[in-house]
Amino acid sequence: MTETQPRSDNYSPKFLVDGMLGSLATKLRILGFDTKYDKDSNDHDLILKASEEGRVLVTSDKELYLHAKQQHVKAILVKGTSEEERLLELFQEAGVESLDLSNMSRCSACNFLLVDTGTKDELGRPIFKCINCGKSYWRGSHWRKLDALFSSVNRSLASNR
């Protein structure tokens, strides 16, 4: 399959999120970032994986963060207490200038890509499906809360630029 869509100029890093930050990993996927979530590997293996796969290691564990830095592996230490603070820190550190909220592109359960099924829900919202696990997605009532969170992060990113 060839890529026909023009690529966005917005820098899009790939992430490896450690076991303590599961809900952050889910949100990164919803936002379309290629994100692995690993709650089984030890520190050594996490650093190795991040390095091998060109992913930014995301952790709230200061020791793990420092170890990664020592080995010149890109890592972000997330310290915020609210999800909004964490997201903002993460994107500022990662050099992401704005979030694209227009598209649904990645499965929050397994990180594979979503395809538009061509069908719509009863309110006319398009339904997407994961090419790997088959889970269906549409922007129902749950999206309103996420949209508010992401929009707020987007505003902060814009004002801090």
What minimum distance in Å lies between the beta carbon of 116 and Zn ion?
Answer: 15
Determine if 132 is a binding residue for Zn ion (CB under 5 A): yes
Contact 111, 36 (CB under 8 A): yes
**Pairing of β 126-130 and β 114-120:** antiparallel
Per-residue contact string for residues 110-129; x = within reach of Zn ion by CB under 5 A:
x-x-----------------
Q: Which is nearer to Zn ion, 50 or 107 (CB)?
A: 107
The sheet that has 35-38: what strands, in order across it? 35-38, 15-18, 56-59, 75-77
- Specify whether the backbone of 129 is left (phi greater than 0), alpha (psi in -120 to 50) or beta: beta
What minimum distance in Å lies between the beta carbon of 108 and Zn ion?
Answer: 8
Q: Which of residues 83-112 bind Zn ion (CB under 5 A)?
A: 107, 109-110, 112
**What does the binding site for Zn ion look like in residue numbers (CB under 5 A)?**
107, 109-110, 112, 130, 132-133, 135
